[in-house]
Amino acid sequence: MNFKKFLMNIDEWDRKIILKYNGIGGKPFTYFLRFISFSGRETIWMCLLTFYFFIWYDPHIFSYISTTFLTGVLTIAPIKKKVARSRPFEVMKEIKILEPEPTSRSFPSWHAYNVISQGLLFSYLFNSPILTIIFISTSLLVSFSRIQLGSHYPSDVIAGFLLGILGFSVAVLLFTPIMLMIISFFEQFVILEIHYQTISPHLFDNFLYSFSVLGIFLIIFLIAFYKRIKEMFNMKEKSGKN
pLDDT (tens digit, 9 = 90+) per residue, 147-174? 999 999 999 999 999 999 999 999 999 9
Determine contact, residues 104/110, Cβ cutoff 8 Å. Answer: yes
CB-based burial, 12-41: b 16+ in 10 Å, e otherwise:
eebbeebeeebbeeeeeebeebeeebebbb
Q: Which amino acid is at 133?
A: I
Angle in degrees, 0-180, between the axes of helices 59-83 and 176-187, rounded to the nearest 10:
130
Residue 54, pLDDT above cutoff 70: yes
CB-based burial, 1-11: b 16+ in 10 Å, e otherwise:
eeeeeeeeeee
**Position 101 confidence tier, pLDDT thresholds 50, 70, 90:** confident
73 burial (CB, 10 Å; 0-12 / 13-18 / 19+) is: middle
**Position 7 confidence tier, pLDDT thresholds 50, 70, 90:** confident
Please state the pTM of the whole predicted model. 0.87
Q: What is the pLDDT of residues 170-206, one digit of tens each?
A: 999 999 999 999 999 999 999 999 999 999 999 999 9
If one counts every other C-beta atom within 10 angstroms of the C-beta of residue 144, the result is: 18
Using CA atoms, how far residue 226 sits from 73, 124, 233, in Å, is 20, 33, 10
Query: Which position has the higher pLDDT, 121 or 234?
Result: 121
Residue 216, pLDDT above cutoff 60: yes
Determine contact, residues 108/159, Cβ cutoff 8 Å. Answer: yes
Taking the C-alpha atoms of residue 107 and residue 155, their distance in angstroms, rounded to an integer, is 8
Domain 36-241 CATH assignment equals 1.20.144: yes
Question: Given CA atoms 120, 121, 122, 125 in this order, what sign does their dihedral have?
Answer: positive
Residue 3, pLDDT above cutoff 90: no
The whole-number pLDDT of residue 240 equals: 53
The whole-number pLDDT of residue 1 equals: 55
Cα of 174 vs its chain's centroid, Å: 21
